[in-house]
Amino acid sequence: MGLATHDIRKHFGTIRANDGISFTIESGSLHGILGENGAGKSTLMKILSGFYEADSGEVDLDGETLDLRSPADAIKVGIGMLHQDPLVFLPFTVLDNFVLGSPGPQRLDRSDARAELERVSGELGFRFDSERLARDLTVGERQQLEITRLMWLGAKVLIFDEPTTGISATQRDQLFLTLRSLAENGLIVLFVSHKLEEVEELCDSVTVIRQGKVVFEAAMPITSEVLVEKMFGKVFVEEDRDPAPFGAPVLELSRVTIEEGTTHIEDLSLSCAAGEVVGLAGLEGSGQRTLLRACAGLLAPSSGLLSVDGNNLNKASYRDHLAAGVHYLPAGRLEEGLVEGISIAEHLVLTSEDTGFFINWDAADEAARQEIDDYSIKGRPSSPAEALSGGNQQRLLLAMIPDEVRLLLLEHPTRGLDVGSAAYVWQRLLERRSDGTSIVFSSADLDELLRYSDRIVVFFAGDVFAMRNVGETDGEELGHLIGGKVRG
């Protein structure tokens, strides 16, 4: 018994997101789903979890054909999905989030619900403060809460969409232990990821989707070279990065103190020169995001000096930072960077330098087509942002960066992207670097930090724990530093 899809098809206009997908996964399997951005993985997972209805085809679970018209339909038959950004209500408590979607009475006894939370989370090896607000949880803890809730609701199939993005190494290890335990207990675990080393480590079988079709199925182990070739139809050869000379300092922080929620950065001094790339490392919540938001003008330092090209921006607005040549790309592409419901063309109009009162929509569509071609975005001028894959959303954000940028701030710039899309993003960023732009970026990927940074700043519990030139460190030392330890 298990999960099977039969000739699943889903079109969005002229785009064939799923073009006849069929596969079977046995109960007790840890199954990897691979494919480049825009291959159709997310569409298929949303069909399986009831967020989309297929145009045609069938989904069977344990021999029964399912009628999936909503996520509620899916969870009723035992299919739950944990999204890359866990679907929790941030103003609600852990307990309130846990009982959401409960099939029981409208008003649940909170003591009974708390006991169920403790029971299910304990079985999974998780610990929660039931009255803690969800906004105070890390991404990894929000994942654990969502897994707990789905298991309480009776999930037999769990879909994980890029679950290791933005979580610590410790949380990743705990997640993998949980997934293995779930599969050993007879559940089907679908693991959607672009991190081939994780698929190799975790999964016992794999399906590769390319251009809406299944192109490869196999039991593991399979080498990453084979998987890359099946995903893209070619093998990528990593090119050496050309060195770029540094210019005068662009970003300068002198004894800066920044506070945001429970994060407190005190007495920080840091600079980034023209043409320099500074990487920010650390466990989530250690201060990287707070620093980026302060440099972008979204937070004001409580003391010290923050300047760009010698201009004091301590009390300056976000608009003033933009005028000074500062641009920020947040990790939440759709939540913070783009606007749901408006098209590619409309996004590009919003960021254009044309200040006229009226918009020439024919010209706007033509300009959007040019940007779509230049940035290889899979979409049309009329495509809404939410219809794009993560990689194509990131390409749109890159297209929206003004021509003249002095300081580029990026939070997890390749989060959830496949190998090809990640390489493309950095190709465009390094072009900016060669033009003298300063780049400061955060990442949970040590390889990315070591590959693209000139210097790495390691945060721990709100403090700068260490700074290293890239040529003087390695992944092992960074791992120790991120955990607050100096390699002995």
Find how far residue 32's CA is from the centre of its chain: 18
Percentage of residues of the chain with pLDDT beyond 90: 46
Per-residue pLDDT tens over the stretch 331-372 = 888 778 898 899 999 999 988 876 667 888 889 999 999 999
Contact 446, 478 (CB under 8 A): yes
Which pLDDT does position 296 carry in this prediction? 93
Quick one: tokens of 276?
Answer: 């320099």
Using N-to-C axis directions, what is the helix angle for 390-399 and 419-434, rounded to 10°?
A: 10
Per-residue pLDDT tens over the stretch 95-108 = 998 988 776 655 66
For the entire predicted model, the pTM comes to: 0.64
Contact 273, 250 (CB under 8 A): yes
Name the most confidently modeled range: 32-46, 229-243, 471-485: 32-46
Q: Rounded to whole angstroms, how far apart are CA atoms 248 and 272?
A: 9
Cis-peptide into 245, omega within 30 deg: no
Residue 43 has pLDDT above 70, yes or no: yes
> For 129-138, 213-222, 231-240, 452-461, which range has the lowest pLDDT when averaged over its residues?
231-240
Which pLDDT does position 304 carry in this prediction? 94
- Residue 68 — very low, low, confident or very high, per pLDDT cuts 50/70/90? very high
- Residue 181 — very low, low, confident or very high, per pLDDT cuts 50/70/90? very high
Residue 236 has pLDDT above 60, yes or no: no
The string of DSSP codes covering 220-275 is SP--HHHHHHHHHSS---PPPPPP----SEEEEEEEEEEEETTEEEEEEEEEEETT
Residue 237 has pLDDT above 70, yes or no: no
Q: Rounded to whole angstroms, how far apart are CA atoms 136 and 262?
A: 8
Residue 238 has pLDDT above 60, yes or no: no
Residue 212 has pLDDT above 60, yes or no: yes
Which pLDDT does position 56 carry in this prediction? 95
Quick one: tokens of 256?
Answer: 């800066």
Quick one: tokens of 258?
Answer: 């920044």
Query: Which residue ranges form the domains of the chain, and what is each CATH number?
Result: 2-232 (3.40.50.300), 249-482 (3.40.50.300)
Best CA proximity match to 260, nearest among 208, 299, 226: 299
Tell me what the pLDDT averaged over the chain comes to. 87
Which pLDDT does position 80 carry in this prediction? 93
> For 155-159, 173-177, 228-232, 469-473, which range has the lowest pLDDT when averaged over its residues?
228-232
Contact 463, 469 (CB under 8 A): no
Which pLDDT does position 64 carry in this prediction? 93
Per-residue pLDDT tens over the stretch 378-422 = 889 999 988 887 778 888 998 898 888 999 999 988 876 777 778
Which pLDDT does position 234 carry in this prediction? 65
Q: Rounded to whole angstroms, how far apart are CA atoms 151 and 296?
A: 40
